[in-house]
Amino acid sequence: MTRRKLHIGLSIAVTWLTGDAWRRPDSRVEEIFSSGFYADLARRAERARLDFLFRPDTLFLAPETVAASPGFSSLDPAVLLAAIAAETEFIGLVSTASTTFYPPFVVARQLQSLNWVSAGRVGWNVVTSLDGQQNFGIDAMPPAEERYARADEFVEVVRKLWRSYPNEALAIDRDAGRFADSPRVRRIDHAGPHFSVAGPLNVPSAPDGDIPLFQAGASPTGRDFAARIADAVFAAAPDRGAGAELRTDLRRRAAAHGRGDAAPLVLPGLSLYLAATKAEAEALFAATHARQDPARRFRAIEAMIGVDLSDAPLDRRVTVESLPAPDPNVRSRTHADLLRRHIARAAPTVRDLLDRPEVIGSAHWLVVGTVEDAFREICAWAEAGAADGFIALPGGSVGSLDLFLDELVPRLTEAGLFRRDYSGRTLRSHLRET
């Protein structure tokens, strides 16, 4: 068994309340807009010595979705993580900010402010967004290539702003009456295809240097972007082969960009439906998705592979030869590529496709079983070089969350795969542990 330590984060997008799970008596769904709910969760995650809490974000809400679940209802990540920062000491806090909708100066200032408030524990999940343009005066989402070109420049501007007011400029010399060495605080005067920003930022950089960057794009363009800028990748990898291929490809791309040993960590999302027995876990998974409309699943498949299978026999096998050419305008190229890769490899039945993570969920690695089942799966992925860790997405009930924090993480610690205690106090130090 490998002894390289895993990096583990926990999504606080209340994944354990999705589907019908919020209806359970112990769900605490009434508290999801309360900072105390998340502070309790953060303290538990910190006691488990997790690397970070991860807050995904969306900037829109479809009213029909909240009829049956919380959907994308959520507090602003920066505000929420600022509240959590005051209640914790060590755990990292990864916030999401969109490069398509926000101005770089606001993101740079917001994140650096949060970095000071948390004493260096902040990370930025860089997203280009898939939806929400109607809330920002944009008629249609720009194509993926254009969004990534904008994101490239956006990250460049933000990093320039973070370095425009360096920590070393803070003189704090009371006797001389000099607060800062003003020549070291410089305008950036950035003028590019998408942004014109003078700077400098009005928040100095924190002592630990630049804020770590996370990224989630899995298309070729997204992978190349991540290989250039990311410290870690929140990967959509539904199986070990997909994870290993992504990790190998990102390391190759990072080397091509001159990053050497600084390739991003690959952290697949791990959807965990945990219970005392496998049968109970399977019942939990089934109950959570019981009301999911089959027609919606067929529509999702058609959107991704371009074939309507709603009238096909459930035992019909779907082969890659039967598919039309990929649609360059598909809503999520990541999901579509993953589903096509699975079809090419396994020639699944229609019934199998209806239960794929890309179709019923978010294309993440899925474990439905006991703590020991999850432990064995995680060990197998680590041994296969398919992951440097994972971001936990507990599902089905708060019981999955409890078993993850109280039993699975300690089991990984006992096996030498996870830390017994923090060796540093910043997110960057956590991510550098081996």
The residues with which 265 forms a beta bridge, in sequence order, are 232
Position 2 scores a pLDDT of 46
Read off the pLDDT of residues 261-275 as tens digits, 9 standing for 90 and up: 789 999 999 999 999
Does residue 22 have a pLDDT over 80? yes
Give the number of other Cβ atoms within 10 Å of residue 167's Cβ. Answer: 13
Average pLDDT of every residue of the chain = 92
Position 43 scores a pLDDT of 98
* Amino acid in position 95: S
Instruction: Tell me what the mean pLDDT of segment 343-371 comes to.
Output: 84
Does residue 209 have a pLDDT over 90? no
Instruction: Tell me what the mean pLDDT of segment 224-232 comes to.
Output: 96
Position 328 scores a pLDDT of 77
Lowest mean pLDDT among 66-70, 176-180, 413-417: 66-70
Give the chain as a 3 state SS string: CCCCCCEEEEECCCHHHCCCHHHCCCCCHHHCCCHHHHHHHHHHHHHCCCCEEEECCCCCCCHHHHHCCCCCCCCCHHHHHHHHHCCCCCCEEEEEEECCCCCHHHHHHHHHHHHHHCCCCEEEEEECCCCCHHHCCCCCCCCHHHHHHHHHHHHHHHHHHHHHCCHHHEEEECCCCEEECHHHCCCCCEECCCCEECCCCCCCCCCCCCCCEEECCCCHHHHHHHHHHCCEEEECCCCHHHHHHHHHHHHHHHHHCCCHHHCCEEEEEEEEEECCCHHHHHHHHHHHCCCCCHHHHHHHHHHHHCCCCCCCCCCCECCHHHCCCCCCCCCCHHHHHHHHHHHHHHCCEHHHHHCCHHHHCCCCEEEEECHHHHHHHHHHHHHCCCCCEEEEEECCCHHHHHHHHHHHHHHHHHCCCCCCCCCCCCHHHHHHCC
Band of residue 362 on the pLDDT scale cut at 50, 70, 90: low
Instruction: Tell me what the mean pLDDT of segment 362-386 comes to.
Output: 92
Instruction: Tell me what the mean pLDDT of segment 172-190 comes to.
Output: 97
Q: What span, in angstroms and rounded, lies between the C-alpha atoms of 385 and 266?
A: 10
CATH of domain 7-287+363-432: 3.20.20.30
Lowest mean pLDDT among 233-242, 369-378, 407-416: 233-242
Does residue 333 have a pLDDT over 90? no
Read off the pLDDT of residues 131-171 as tens digits, 9 standing for 90 and up: 999 999 999 999 989 999 999 999 999 999 999 999 999 99
Band of residue 1 on the pLDDT scale cut at 50, 70, 90: very low
* Tokens coding 124: 């930025």
Band of residue 334 on the pLDDT scale cut at 50, 70, 90: low
Cβ neighbors of 251 (< 8 A, separation 6 or more) are 263
Indicate the pTM of the whole model.
0.88
Q: What span, in angstroms and rounded, lies between the C-alpha atoms of 151 and 66?
A: 30
Alpha-carbon distances, residue 169 vs 159, 172, 173 (angstroms): 17, 9, 11
Band of residue 239 on the pLDDT scale cut at 50, 70, 90: confident
* Amino acid in position 425: R
